[in-house]
Structures are given as C-alpha cells and as structure tokens.
Amino acid sequence: MSFLQVIFRGLWRRPVRTGLTVLGISIGIAAVVALVGMSSGYEKSVSGQLDAIGIDVIVSNMQGGIMPKAFDESVRDRIAELPGVAEANGTLMQMLSVEDAPMMVVYGREWGSFTWDQFKLIEGRLPRDADEPAVVLGKLAAEVLRKKAGDRIQVETGDFEVVGIVDGQSVLENGAVNMPLPRFQEVSGYDGRVNFINIRVPGGSSPAAVDELCRTIEEMFPGLRAVKADQVVGTSQGFQMARAMSWSTSLLALVVGVLGVMNTMLMSVFERKHEIGVLLALGWRRSRIMALILCESAAMGFLGGIVGVVLGSVTLAALQMAPAVRGFLEPDLGWGLAASAISIAVGVGVISGLYPAWRSSRLSPGIALQG
C-alpha cells in the first residue's frame, strides 16, 4: 500500500462531497481557461493578422479604448514622406452588425495597397478599382453570412456586390468584410478618415531605425501611437485591459474554489478526527498527517484542474462556433495554458489545505480517539 493509495482512499470516503468539490474547482479553472484562452486567442489573432499582411509599424489613436479613434487620412501622406518609410496606407476598421451577423469586422482598405496582397482568391475576383461598390469576404465571414460571389450584401447604408471570397491567411482576415476605403468611408460616415496607418519599412532596416521612426511619428502627431507590429499585443492598453479583466475575473472564480476546498477539507478533518487519532496512535508523525491532508487537497485541485481544462476547452469550442465570436477570435488553448491552469488548480488545493492540515496536526491523539 502506497501513500498515494492512502490519499485516494481518503478522498473516496465521501465520493459525492469530493466530486462536488472537484466540480467547484473545475468551474473556476474552466473560467480561467475560457477567459484567458479567449483573451490570448484574440492577441494571437491580431498578431497573425499583422504577420499575414506584413505590417512593420502600425499607427493608431487608441486613447485607452479597444477600438481606435478615427483621424484625418492626410496623416498617411505626411508619414509616407518620412525617411525610413517604404510604403504607408490607411485603413478604416469598424465592428458592425452586418445583416444577420451580430458583429463583424469590416475593413475599408486603400485600393492597390499591400493590405490586399495576402488575399488568396477562393472564388470570384477582387474589386476592379477604388470606386467599385464591391466587397470581398473572408472565407469565415462568407460562411457566417451564407454568401457566395455574385450575392448582394447590405453594409450600413450601402448595398454591395460580393465579388470574391478569399483566404486571408489569418482568423481576423478570414472573418472580415473588405471593401475599397472610399466606399466604406462613405457608408460609415467617416469621410476622409481612417483609424490605422500601416507602414512597411525598407528591407534591412535596423530595429533602432524602426524605433526612431516610431518616435518621429509620435512627435509629429501628438495623440497618435506608432508601434512596431511585434509589440502591438504587448503594449496596447486595450489588450492589457482585456488580459487584466480575464485574469481578475478568473481570480474571483478561484477564490470561490479555495473557499470550497478549504471547507471540504476542514469538514473532512473534523469528521476524521477519530481516524487521525488512530493513525497518530499507530505511530504516524504529525508531519505525515499534515502531508496526507495537503496531498488530498492538492489531489482534489489536480482533478479539478483536469476537469476544468476539459470544461474550459468545451466552452471555448462552443464560443468559437457562436456567430458573435466566429471570424474574429481564435481561442488559444495550448499545452501552456492547460499546464498553467492545472498548476493553478493544484496551488489552489495546497493553499486550501494549509489551514485544515495545521488543524489536523494540533489534534491530541488521546482526545481524538475518544471521538
């Protein structure tokens, strides 16, 4: 008989109570997996999109919100003239309800700019020029909107023809509705305005030169932020806020988990006072009794962690299929997140078991044996 067997026999004494406690922890862990998975999935989607388009520097006016504010598109011309800029173009992005889809990302892209280059046509064609009232749908957007090339689509006040379906090489691009910039400015009421300037620097530019370019842009246009593409996710206040919110909500769920396990373990110690007295009488050290309680508690955390990761993954998979999320969110459930979630669950178990373990170590065997 091993110590591990003793631990699991202890948990098996009250299978329903152990099961409910494990379920309690698993709900907290599922919240961690779902919320953090969504937030990091969104970060991954944005990084993937920037990689796919090949943007080196992105200029926006975040102002602490998640959606950047629109600004005058003439900024693009002044940036394009700066040394160290190979190409600059403007994009107007909005999250809108499009027909039956509650929320879709809609882009107005400068016709002829590199932001159209990553599209691989699956069906139809790209717009012929900057003025054509035509949209190109990412393949996920086409699926959600149930459109094919040749169909009509209503975006805000405009009626457009779907001229093509494309593979955009990233989740955000595949979930987007794209049209020439002037057409989107017209129907969205943002005439002459954009909310992103996408910059490519000449090949071989040093990181220091790119940093210098960012500083120059921020000095020229107070209120705008110029960020290197690989730093967008790490430095954006919006992402930081989303990350903080997902972790703080998860923390609340975990606190509830800690209280649940602590309550179970305390009840278990009180109920098993007699058994603990027997073990002490049979020569078990107090440290071994403490280790037993802590390991039981940690084992419940471990089981709760595994169940929580499964529940969280199922939740993420269900969310991924939801029309409101599909197309602009790729939940990120990697081994790293699963391992972190299980480690957190074991930590919750150990922390919850500390006080009950200490209580168990204070029992006098003589008194405990009396009941």
Partner 1 sequence: MNHREPATGEVPLFEAAGLAKEYDDGRVPALCGVDFRISEGEFVSIVGPSGCGKSTLLNLLGMLDRPTAGTLRYRGKPLHQTGDPASYRAREVGFIFQSFHLLPTFTIEENVMIPTFGFPATRAEKRRRAKELLEAVGLSHRLGHLPVKLSGGERQRAAIARSLVNRPGILLADEPTGNLDSKNAGHVMELLLRLQREHKTTLVLVTHDHGVAAHASRVIRMKDGRIVSDAPGTSAP
Q: Which residues is 347 bridged to in the sheet?
A: none
Query: Least distance to partner 1 from the beta carbon of 279, Å?
Result: 7
Whose CA is closest to 155, among 104, 110, 196? Answer: 104
Tell me how far, at minimum, the Cβ of 295 lies from partner 1, in Å: 13
Helical spans, DSSP H, in the chain: 3-12, 15-53, 74-80, 139-145, 171-174, 181-188, 207-220, 232-235, 237-271, 273-281, 286-321, 335-361, 365-369
286 binds partner 1 (CB under 8 A): yes
Among residues 2, 83, 203, 204, which is the contact residue for partner 1, using CB under 8 A?
A: 2
Structure token pair of residue 210:
């790119």
| Minimum CB distance to partner 1, residue 285 (Å) | 4
- Regarding 15 and contact with partner 1 (CB under 8 A), the answer is no
Q: DSSP string of 322-361?
A: STTTTTT------HHHHHHHHHHHHHHHHHHHHHHHHHHH
245 in contact with partner 1 (CB under 8 A): no
- Decide: 327 and 105 in contact? Cβ < 8 Å: yes
The SS3 assignment for 282 reads coil
Q: Which stretch binds partner 1 (CB under 8 A): 3-11, 134-142, 188-196, 253-261?
A: 3-11
For residues 312 and 306, what is the distance between their CA atoms, to the nearest angstrom?
Answer: 10
**Residues 75/58, Cβ–Cβ less than 8 Å:** no
Q: How far is the CB of 358 from partner 1 (least distance, A)?
A: 17
Q: Out of 204, 222, 283, 321, which residue is the one contacting partner 1 (CB under 8 A)? A: 283
Residue 275 binding partner 1, by CB under 8 A: yes
Q: Specify the residue, 204 or 371, whose C-beta has the smaller distance to partner 1.
A: 371
| Nearest residue (CB) to partner 1, 13 versus 69 | 13
Q: How far is the CB of 283 from partner 1 (least distance, A)?
A: 2
Binding residues among 316-355 for partner 1 as defined by CB under 8 A: none
The answer to whether residue 270 forms part of the interface with partner 1 (CB under 8 A) is no
Picking from 88, 50, 57, 55, the residue whose alpha carbon sits closest to that of residue 209 is 57
Among 4, 9, 63, 120, binds partner 1 (CB under 8 A): 9
Name the segment binding partner 1 (CB under 8 A); options: 7-15, 35-43, 50-58, 233-241.
7-15
Residue 4 within binding range of partner 1, rule CB under 8 A: no
Is residue 364 near partner 1 by the rule CB under 8 A?
Answer: yes
Q: Which residues is 76 bridged to in the sheet?
A: none
369 binds partner 1 (CB under 8 A): yes
- Confirm if 304 and 22 have CB atoms less than 8 A apart: yes
**Please, what is the minimum distance in Å from the beta carbon of residue 288 to partner 1?**
7
Phi/psi at 206 (nearest 5 deg)?
-80, 155
Closest CB to partner 1 among residues 182, 365 = 365
Q: Tokens standing for 352?
A: 């919850």
The secondary structure element, H or E, covering residue 130 is none
Residue of 137, 232, 254, 280 interacting with partner 1 (CB under 8 A): 280
Residue 185 backbone class (left: φ over 0; alpha: ψ -120 to 50; beta: rest): alpha
CB of 260 to partner 1, least distance (A): 23
Instruction: Give 5 or 157: the residue with its C-beta nearer to partner 1.
Output: 5
Residues near partner 1, by CB under 8 A: 1-3, 5, 9-10, 12-13, 274-275, 278-286, 288, 364-367, 369
